[in-house]
A and B are shown apart, each in its own frame.
Chain A
Amino acid sequence: MKFTIAVLVENKPGVLVRVASLFRRRGFNIESLTVGTTEREDLSRMTIVVKGDERVLEQVTKQLNKLIEVIKVSDVTKDSVERELCLIRVNAPSEKRGEIIELTNIFRGRIVDVAKDSFIVEITGDEDKINAFIDLMRAYGIKEVARTGKVAMVRGGKSGEK
């Protein structure tokens, strides 16, 4: 099973190391981890995707909460908007360019760089959408993939951070 947790932390040097070190030491598996700023300058937000069962999720949450610089940990696995951004460098010989452009449009992606025989495609969406698009691109030959990892936010009026 996979869980997505949002961790609100103080924006101080070393916080990322503390969080990462905790995962390593306790033997939790990180699938992806993103960090970024928030609406407040003194706070950062991490979105971490963890592999494990309910017990692992419980321990991860509790252990994270013990870190002094961690302010709030929320499980945003359910009922949330999840997005990831992905850049794909794909082979694009002239006879295939039309197909690739069409597929990119269907997935609401954008071609952000055009070279002699390749494109860089930018695509955003949830994990499944990005996986599906990558699968389609394999037919043309993928040269490089860069994914940001997931960010997430709970739907509706409630804030996960208050």
Chain B
Amino acid sequence: MRAADAFVRALEKEGVEVIFGIPGGAIIEIYDALYDSNIRHITTRHEQGATHAADGYARASGKVGVVFATSGPGATNTVTGIANAYMDSSPIVVFTGQVARSLIGNDAFQEADITGITMPITKHNYLVTDPKSLLRIVREAFHIASTGRPGPVLVDIPKDISQAEIEFEYPSKVELMGYKPKYEGHPMQIKKAAELIMKAERPIILAGGGVRISNAEKELTELAETIPAFVVTTLMGKGSISEYHPLCLGFVGMHGSKYANYALSESDLIIAVGCRFSDRTTGNATLFAPEAKIIHIDIDPAEIGKNIRVDVPIVGDAKKILAQMKKYLQYRQRKEWEEKVREWREKFPLKYRKEGFKPQLVIEKACEFFPDAIITTEVGQNQMWAAQFFKVKYPRQFISSGGLGTMGFGFPAAMGAKVACPDKEVIDIAGDGSFLMNIQELATCVHYEIPVKVFIMNNGYLGMVRQWQQLFYRERYSATCIGCEKISFEKIANGFGALGITVEKPSEIEDVFKFVKDNSDVPVVVDFRVDFQANVLPMVPPGKGLKDIIEGD
């Protein structure tokens, strides 16, 4: 059997339902084989769009996202998407075509050393050098991407390999000497953690993206209720517990609420689950939660002690560990602490000045009108406002580029999420700058009838940088004005064949949202002409501790 055909059959065996990609010379053989398959293929308009779409698909569904790209520029265009998936531990497998083996190293047409390039941003990668190893590698790639701490895997397939003849023998199991993720937490450590929790007077749970990956939302909520403990989340952890739950204090860190940051800083015990204590979450690490002991649950041993000292490390799967931990715990009210947190919550709510046309209002209203929608975000102010004002109800509802902070992620990710969850409304909360970075995917959405919604907080600036320039660089607005108020996103959307709407006044928001709701079967771009001066507040200035927070005005 032609290796390309065997390869596509292997993807079917892996349960692949959809592939995002763009064909090209070095991968043409595989596309030829795909022609006979029932696997759906979505031709994006840029390979970066394909990788983000696969990433969004993976985050929304929990399945592995799959990307096809050709050699050279096709492959290098996937790099940002791969790095993004790597930073946020998203399981995607990227298959790239490569020039024939005899040409590798000769600087052949469309040759790029993509395995060399992606080595530091993949969980693992392969250059297939023997047709006989192709199917084993496919099997391993899916296994590595989806188990342990998930992440992207790239497989580079030279053209002559896909043309070779091989037997179809799909390996039933994977044997990797050096890869055995640990799922069971150490029982003694779990017990020790439970003892610490019982003794703690001001316990708090810090939930990260690992909770979603482990599908541990139910166990986390139960743990919080059993102790009881308040829950703060990282950006990636949004959705670990319903944000309507009375114990949930929302997200924490540089743009977290003052009460969430205070509660975390003043706690005497942090139960960190599936988070990596990034600088955006901890603020200045040396000032982080000075009185707190720390229990750190993570499947990746390398995360433990990397950024923050830990008292009780537990390596393993969060879902299993939390369920076991609960058995050792008894409910004990901690009145003084609860009252203190309630007081902070009442005293320092998230707020913004209501006059003018404020982006925060758009997002609050979006949350009211589309409470069940999957939200993706771009990166910058739009992302932080979405994190602050869109209250997430269920797991996998909030999809955002956390680690890499990739502008241009949200829109293709929304496309992928919509493909994964066609029955859900999917909204990309965007900025004008970010949306322009992958706007070409509008063509994909229209072509394949993927009806995502894009709400642009158009302020004509690279707003987050403008905010930093205003606050920390004496209002020297170097290169941040991009003048998008002169662009008609409405006309652009129309030009692509999507619906476009321009919104100039806050009084129009509700009618527009009603209209969007009525048009759930077509892609819609809404251009909200918001006040350009609006800032994301509160804010912990870079290098400061979490309690050193600038309040909202």
Contact = CB atoms under 8 A, between A and B. Distances in A.
Question: Taking chain A's interface residues, is the majority helix, strand, or loop, or is none over half, making it mixed?
Answer: helix
A66 B300 contact: yes
Interface string B16-54: 000000000000000000000000000000000000000
Contact of B124 (A17, A25, A68): A68
A21 B115 contact: no
Interface stretch (B63-71, B174-182, B505-513): B174-182
Contacts of B176: 68
B479 interface: no
B142 to A, nearest CB: 14
B314 to A, nearest CB: 15
A21 B120 CA distance: 7
Contacts of A13: 129
A71 B179 CA distance: 8
Contact of B116 (A17, A59, A62): A17
Interface stretch (B287-295, B301-309, B390-398, B542-550): B301-309
A62 to B, nearest CB: 4
B297 interface: no
B481 interface: no
A70 B178 contact: yes
Given A14-B115, A68-B124, A62 B302 contact: yes
A70 B124 CA distance: 12
Given A10-B178, A14-B115, A65 B124 contact: no
A2 B258 CA distance: 44
A58 B144 contact: no
Contact of A55 (B116, B179, B305): B305
B119 interface: yes
A71 B305 contact: no
Interface string A70-109: 1110000000000000000000000000000000000000
The contact size tier of chain B is: 10 to 19
A38 interface: no
A69 interface: yes
Interface in B97-129: 115-116, 119-120, 123-124, 127, 129
B305 to A, nearest CB: 7
Contacts of B306: 59
A12 to B, nearest CB: 10
Which of A55, A59, A62, A71 is packed against the most chain B CB atoms within 10 Å? A62
A55 B306 CA distance: 8
A128 to B, nearest CB: 32
B144 A68 contact: yes
A62 B129 CA distance: 29
A51 interface: no
A81 to B, nearest CB: 25
Interface in A16-70: 17-18, 21-22, 25, 55, 58-59, 62-63, 65-70
A160 to B, nearest CB: 15
A71 B302 contact: no
Contacts of A66: 300, 302
B178 A18 contact: no
Nearest to B179: A68
Contacts of A72: 178
A56 to B, nearest CB: 11
B439 to A, nearest CB: 32
Contacts of B179: 68
A68 B178 contact: yes
Contacts of B124: 67-68
Interface string B252-294: 0000000000000000000000000000000000000000000
A10 B301 CA distance: 21
A71 B177 contact: yes
B301 A65 contact: yes
Contacts of A65: 301-302
Given A14-B115, A58-B305, A62-B301, A69 B120 contact: no
Given A10-B178, A58-B305, A71-B177, 13 more contacts: A9-B178, A13-B129, A14-B115, A14-B127, A17-B116, A25-B120, A55-B305, A59-B302, A62-B301, A65-B301, A67-B124, A67-B178, A68-B123
15 contacts: A10-B177, A14-B115, A17-B119, A18-B119, A21-B120, A25-B120, A59-B306, A62-B301, A65-B301, A66-B300, A67-B178, A68-B123, A68-B144, A68-B176, A68-B178
Interface of A: 9-10, 13-14, 17-18, 21-22, 25, 55, 58-59, 62-63, 65-72
Closest 9 CB pairs of A and B: A62-B302, A71-B178, A68-B124, A68-B179, A25-B120, A71-B177, A70-B178, A62-B301, A63-B302
